Amino acid sequence: MPITTTSSSTKKLLFRQLFEKDSSTYTYLLADVSHPQKPALLIDPVDKTVDRDLSLIKELGLKLIYAMNTHVHADHVTGTGLIKSKVSGVKSIISKASGSKADLLIEPGDKVSFGDLFLEVRATPGHTLGCVTYVTGDGPDQPQPRMAFTGDTLLIRGCGRTDFQGGSSQQLYNSVHSQIFTLPKDTFIYPAHDYRGFTVSTVGEEMLYNPRLTKDEETFEGIMKNLNLSYPKMMDVAVPANMVCGLQDPISKA
Amino acid sequence: MPITTTSSSTKKLLFRQLFEKDSSTYTYLLADVSHPQKPALLIDPVDKTVDRDLSLIKELGLKLIYAMNTHVHADHVTGTGLIKSKVSGVKSIISKASGSKADLLIEPGDKVSFGDLFLEVRATPGHTLGCVTYVTGDGPDQPQPRMAFTGDTLLIRGCGRTDFQGGSSQQLYNSVHSQIFTLPKDTFIYPAHDYRGFTVSTVGEEMLYNPRLTKDEETFEGIMKNLNLSYPKMMDVAVPANMVCGLQDPISKA
Ligand SMILES: [Fe+2]
Ligand SMILES: [Fe+2]
């Protein structure tokens, strides 16, 4: 009975999209509000907006259990370390392939559970070597349509750059086509950034209208090679910090 | 069967929140995608982002029928006039109480229908004399939870200023308490602006945590009297333009 499951699962998930203007970053809050503890997680929190996010979580009566990243960001400092210093019991999460420190290093196929809901981990390298896409679970008790948190792998009508951090346009192309465009067409795409004011897209829409990823692989690689992007302002600060949850480890500094 | 109706109605409504960064304005796109023509409307479009909005509407295969405003904005120029000049058959909508020109001048209690879905019009003066809140319909075929497009009347953890354009803190207080806080607590609040990166709230949340509107009326009026806000930069351009759908009428100019 797909109709019934859709509705019951929609009622379980509390979902909030939050925006950080300076870096145009989206942070996502998800919680299972049917579960007595209302366990919650944050995807791609930004250091500057940690207080906003934690105050919202408190007001909503949620218990934050995970602060996770889709990848090592080069344009902002992650809030995961700061969150851990402010809320006890929160665990940071990033992919093992990122080479970063975190409490939990996840791998493709892992599940990140919060209450009765979960996210699947899909490896989507190309923007960075360690990029993952988190996708809400497949199953009658999970949100319908599904939601994919694509980081910078797939943006709305765009994609992340592939010219540093172990990036590869060939890998990004294959990641999107094999790991994201194979999801149901009504799957929502929630990226880590948008610079034009879009908040969401769908797999079906990007398969039809993404100006880069609708091209064949060779054309795509040509596009990515000729972007001529400038060096990211924050990169030399953000990347080393983000390798350790946004907080330089006092021991390794000494 | 509330479970079944929730789901069937969720499937009908296509909903997109769109952001204009300079004025931190949210524009909302709603469409009935179960209807063969996919009739759509835009709430509070901004002149600068009209091309983005129309291109999305085209890609999604929607037929735009209404371009509507919650009120005469003082901080940006509405896109309704520009939209009418670019897409034939679109009608502009604003409240009769605003004193503005538009194709349809709506009044409290009116319904704005698009396909089998509709918005109710609620008078919520206070930020301006002519402010309205558009609320998705009540009924088994309408989206659940309901959604309220509150303009500047109720913002997330805030509210619009009440010191010009026929504003009145007493009226705003009464509008929110009688017309918005009486909606079901799970009703989503979608405001015309947010300056801190929030995208949505609920009636229940604002009833508990709105720092202004949880106060008694006298305290609220004191808060609003002492905001000491500066004169809006865009006001002298935006207000006269917005009285005529954002386009100065060539005849009245001559
Ligand atoms: Fe990135
Ligand atoms: Fe306004």
Q: What is the pLDDT of residues A30-61, one digit of tens each?
A: 999 999 999 999 999 999 999 999 999 999 99
Low-confidence ranges of chain A (pLDDT < 50): 1-9, 250-254
Residue B59 has its nearest CB partner, among A56, A199, A205, at A205
- What phi and psi, each to the nearest 5 degrees, are found at residue A94? -150, 170
Q: Is A63 exposed, middle or buried (0-12, 13-18, 19+ CB in 10 A)?
A: middle
pLDDT for A1 equals 30
Interface A–B counts its CB contacts (< 8 A) at: 66
pLDDT for A252 equals 43
* pLDDT interval class at B247 (50, 70, 90): confident
**Element containing residue A206 per DSSP (H, E):** helix A203-209
What proportion of chain B, given as a percentage, has pLDDT over 90? 91
Test the B interface: residue of A5, A6, A201 with most B CBs within 10 Å: A6
pLDDT for A9 equals 45
- CA torsion angle A82 A85 A88 A91 (round to 10): 50
Query: Chain B interface residues facing chain A, Cβ-Cβ under 8 Å?
Result: 3-4, 6-8, 10-11, 16-21, 49, 52, 56, 59-60, 196-200, 205, 208-209
What is the ipTM for the molecules in this complex? 0.93
Q: Is A121 exposed, middle or buried (0-12, 13-18, 19+ CB in 10 A)?
A: buried
pLDDT for A3 equals 34
Nearest to A80 by CA among A246, A251, A250, A254: A246
The domains found in chain A, sorted by start residue, are 2-231 (3.60.15.10)
Task: Give Cβ neighbours of residue A8 (< 8 Å, ≥ 6 apart).
Answer: A141, B3
pLDDT for B7 equals 41
**Please, what's the largest Cα pairwise distance for chain A?**
60
Report the sign of the C-alpha dihedral through residues B102, B243, B63, B115, in that order.
negative
Query: Chain A interface residues facing chain B, Cβ-Cβ under 8 Å?
Result: 3-4, 6-8, 10-11, 16-21, 49, 52, 56, 59-60, 196-200, 205, 208-209
Nearest-angstrom CA–CA distance, B137 and B143: 7
Distance from the Cα of residue A40 to its chain's centroid:
15
Nearest-angstrom CA–CA distance, B164 and B182: 27
pLDDT for A247 equals 85
Residue A158 bridge partners (DSSP): A155
* pLDDT interval class at B11 (50, 70, 90): low
Chain A residues whose CB is inside 8 A of the B196 CB are 52
* pLDDT interval class at B34 (50, 70, 90): very high
Chain A residues whose CB is inside 8 A of the B4 CB are 3-4, 7
Q: Is the pLDDT of residue B249 over 70?
A: no
| Cβ-defined contact of A205 to B10 (cutoff 8 Å) | no
Chain B residues whose CB is inside 8 A of the A10 CB are 6-7, 10
Structure-block tokens of residue B108: 């409290």
Residue with tokens 């929730």: B6
pLDDT for A248 equals 60
* pLDDT interval class at B10 (50, 70, 90): low
Nearest-angstrom CA–CA distance, A246 and A197: 26
Residues with CB in 5 Å of ion ligand 1? A 73, 152
Distance A169 CA to ligand 2 centre (A): 44
Distance B41 CA to ligand 2 centre (A): 20
Test the A interface: residue of B1, B19, B30, B201 with most A CBs within 10 Å: B19
Residue with tokens 């979902």: A15
CB distance A156 to A113 below 8 Å:
no
